[in-house]
Amino acid sequence: MAPRYRVTLTKKEREDLEAISTKGKRAARTVLYSRALLLLDVGEQGPRWLVAKVAEALGTTPRSLEHLKKRFVEEGITVAIERKKRVKPPREIQFGGDFEAHLLALACSDAPPGNKRWTVRLLAEKMIELKMVPTVSPMTVCNTLKKMNLSLT
């Protein structure tokens, strides 16, 4: 069965990949993928290794090399060897500066009646009661206070 994607490198691309894999500091994945593309090259100067042999030599799986070949053929050399940039952050920041300011003001205020001082649990419950946040764990309050270098004692 003929390979679906064929890596054929130009002389310039080979020189660039050789420079990436031998010179300077790069991410390990970038170096690994550049070496893989050099070995998978079926052009005039390429060694024409089989995918299984390259996978064994580089310690990867044949499937990841097939994906690499697909990215190279469809999107180009830069996209193939570089890591994809994240479009948006993993999640929205829930407890930003406004939360910290309210928490600091609350922690510095007088303790509620019946208590000598604020506890982390009391602060968390009060922040929910005041509708500053829909939910917050005492550990989040504790970490926020620690980050602000504030001790409740």
Query: pLDDT tens digits, the chain, 153 residues: what are they?
Result: 456 899 999 999 999 999 999 998 999 999 999 999 999 999 888 888 999 999 999 999 999 999 999 999 999 999 999 988 888 878 777 788 888 899 989 988 998 899 999 999 999 999 999 988 889 999 999 988 888 887 776
* φ, ψ (nearest 5 deg) of residue 115: -130, 145
Name the helix (H) or strand (E) containing 22: helix 11-22
**Is residue 68 domain-shared with residue 28, that is, in the same domain?**
yes
**Is residue 58 domain-shared with residue 17, that is, in the same domain?**
yes
Parent domain of 70: 11-81
Domain boundary among the residues 25, 46, 81 is at: 81
**Is residue 59 domain-shared with residue 111, that is, in the same domain?**
no
Q: Which of 152, 66, 60 is CA-nearest to residue 104?
A: 152
